[in-house]
Amino acid sequence: MTDRFVVSSTPLSGVKSIRRNRVGDARGWLERLFCRDDLAFAGWIWDIAQINRTLTLRKDTVRGMHFQTAPYEEAKLITCLKGKVFDVAVDLRPSSPTYRHWHGEILSDANDTTLLIPPGFAHGFQALSDNVEMLYFHSAPYAAACEGGVRADDPALAIRWPREIAEMSDRDRSFPLLDDLDEDSGQ
């Protein structure tokens, strides 16, 4: 823990919930989103290769579950700048004791929480409000040849989305089920 960040473990090894502490006065506030030295305490050991910002227009939309394979496996820091989401990480590391388990957490513009997701996980979220803005810090650049995903509605994962899924991209719907992904990779 630092004075800027309070770090909590989650049920998934390596995935951390990070509460950002705001500093303010009569003029307003300052909130640090990233500090390499402070976040090393939480387990962030990577350089930042890419930063993305997304807008999801309608609540109940699901994005995910996305990952990248070697040599572009990536760690992510996920923050909700506007609105509210149910953010999910799925452990895809076959040697992990939490392999095929998921963890979900509410991120919002009101709770000042960031999720740290190390390499070897799929990530996705469900918008719980309209006009959600998300900010992603990535440890590797996007590489289309290394892009992968699993279905967010996979019965084997049984992710308990808070609301019925109203919208998902054709690309995300076309991802394989986890059992099919395991067969394809020989795991």
- Note the pLDDT of residue 184: 61
Out of 66, 103, 123, 138, which one is annotated catalytic? Answer: 66
113 SS3 class:
strand
- Across residues 91-120, what is the average pLDDT? 96
Boundaries of every domain in the chain = 5-185
Ordered strands of the 5-9 beta sheet: 5-9, 16-20, 113-117, 76-82, 132-138, 50-56
136 is catalytic: yes
pTM of the model: 0.91
- Would the pLDDT of 179 be above 80? yes
Q: What is the largest CA-CA distance in the chain?
A: 59
- Across residues 58-81, what is the average pLDDT? 97
Summarize pLDDT for 36-61 with one digit per residue, the tens.
877 777 778 788 999 999 999 999 99
CATH number corresponding to 5-185: 2.60.120.10
Out of 72, 101, 123, 136, which one is annotated catalytic? Answer: 136
Name 77's Cβ contacts closer than 8 Å, sequence gap at least 6.
18, 34, 39, 44, 114, 115, 116, 117, 136, 137
Q: In angstroms, rounded to a whole number, what is the distance separating the alpha carbons of residues 103 and 159?
A: 9
66 is catalytic: yes
The backbone region for 22, taken as left when phi is positive above 0, alpha when psi lies in -120 to 50, beta otherwise, is: beta
